[in-house]
Amino acid sequence: MTELIPKPRGVVAATGEVRLTAHSRLHARTGTQGVGHWLSAVLRQATGLPLREGRGLDDAGGDGIGLRLDPGLGPEEYRLVSDRNGVLIEGGSAAGVFWGAQTLRQLLGPDAYRKAPLGRDRAWVVPYLTIEDAPRFRWRGLMLDVARHFMPKEGVLRYLDLMAAHKLNVFHFHLTDDQGWRIRIERHPRLTEIGSWRARTKTGHRASPLWEEKPHGGYYTQDDIREIVAYAAERHITVVPEIDVPGHSQAAIAAYPELGNTDVIDTTALSVWDTWGINPNVLAPTDNTLRFYEGVFEEVLELFPSQFVHVGGDECPKDQWRRSEAAQARIRELGLADEHELQSWFIGHFDAWLTARGRRLIGWDEILEGGLAKGAAVSSWRGYAGGIAAARAGHDVVMCPEQQVYLDHRQAPGPDEPVPIGWVRTLEDVYRFEPVPPELTPEEARHVLGTQANVWTEVMDDHARVDYQVFPRLAAFAEVAWSALPAPAARDFAGFERRMTAHYRRLDALGVAYRPPAGPLPWQRRPGVLGRPIDGPPPSR
């Protein structure tokens, strides 16, 4: 029961065990009541034990659970002690106590993850031990793309639970793209009335001849978003929204054609894009576009309390701006050198706008091109180079290089992998990922906020496909993000695999359709659907 993932900083075992019974109580001291509510709810549904509220830690002792804050611990640090007095979880904040509660759930065994008791007598025991633990990084993220294939609200809530079970604490919510706009904006209703659905969908890679000839769509109401944000907050997860500008915007232009480069193409003829790749139809750099998106971001800020707001900024082709007299006039008016500086100006506008409202802009590493405002942060996806450049320039960085932690990339070279995309990234490859580039000095490395795994859903048409791509690799990523591991080559992958044997049973109890170690099950394959595999090892930088 001590095969824990992610691996704790320190575990000291002792002889004996705490047995939770119908008489066991749970006491949450001031500041931990939310964690107590969550823990009692999940354990009651899995065990059937009432876990009534204790009057104090003494009342929770012996066979009970106590939760309390310890100001001597770091914000997400926790200490779990199981002994003759019961189980005590202390944390430097409610978040620390929550991560300790997640560890307790693992200690109780896989059945502690079920939604109802199995109806047979069993003992719920926690071995005597002391665990002291704290995360390596404060940004331990998962990005989920719901624009390419929509995930209904219940699926998003489920992924928040899966993140929490792995001690991940940032949910990067990719809400808009060429293929769909997924958040209701009250002042611009056509964004979801028109932009949230497409008439058909490419099946497989964009070179595939296959299509799904039926509409695909969906969006979240503002109440849905409020619920998602609140649900995440209860699990100490921050939701960072992404609204793409100025590229990846065809869904918005299809809804409001005046947002596009109307002097170059007939934007009224555009529909929500039904295929994949880099789209040439980008936003026009006009005052009207700026005011429109300020209105969008005003509503976004009301819904998301996150310090960071992601604006995309990646893969913005400049061809239409080169051909647009309006765009060229703006370049001359602003005294810019070229279209790259025009994009920098566009991003800079929203950086200043967000800063004035107490928020921070973050974007993909292309926002470095043409210069970047001092307070902006960077998601380094095109390898390590963008993150290195950003950190050396004094910008905070989230490391998410596609060569290492893009979970849409295939997991093995065999022909049975469903819709193979990108480089082979095995469970071991992810486990040996190192977020901090060795080229950085200690001072520069302090700008690495953390790391994030990205899940792009072009070829993931339902939650089972998302599960297959994400798991079990997210467990390896979670350990990289949380645990103080040695250098990649020195990591004990064999030990991790041994601990995964227990963790697969937890994933089974959670109903996760992960990729089995031996390869895909027959129904997980997608024979005949063209992918885009890349041969050879990925570049290391």
Strands 360-364 and 10-20: unpaired
Q: Which of 177, 178, 339, 467 is catalytic?
A: 177
pTM assigned to the model: 0.98
Q: Which of 70, 83, 299, 315 is catalytic?
A: 315
**pLDDT score, position 55:** 72
Query: Is there a catalytic annotation at residue 315?
Result: yes
Query: Is there a catalytic annotation at residue 248?
Result: yes
pLDDT confidence band for 1 (50 / 70 / 90): low
- Tell me the mean pLDDT in the region 61-84: 95
H-helix or E-strand spanning residue 398: strand 397-399
pLDDT confidence band for 337 (50 / 70 / 90): very high
Radius of gyration of the CA atoms of the chain, in A: 24
**pLDDT score, position 370:** 78
**pLDDT score, position 122:** 87
How far is residue 198's CA from residue 209's CA, in Å, rounded to a whole number? Answer: 18
- Helix and strand numbers, DSSP H then E, in the chain: 17, 23
In 97-246, DSSP assigns E strands to 124-133, 139-145, 170-174, 176-177, 180-181, 197-198, 201-202, 211-212, 216-217, 238-245
**pLDDT score, position 60:** 56
Q: Which of 188, 236, 248, 503 is catalytic?
A: 248
Query: Is there a catalytic annotation at residue 177?
Result: yes
Look up residue 2 and give its two tokens.
Answer: 């001590």
**pLDDT score, position 540:** 78
Task: Kindly list the distances between the CA atom of residue 389 and the CA atoms of 92, 208, 209, 379, in Å, as whole numbers in the listed order.
Answer: 34, 36, 40, 12
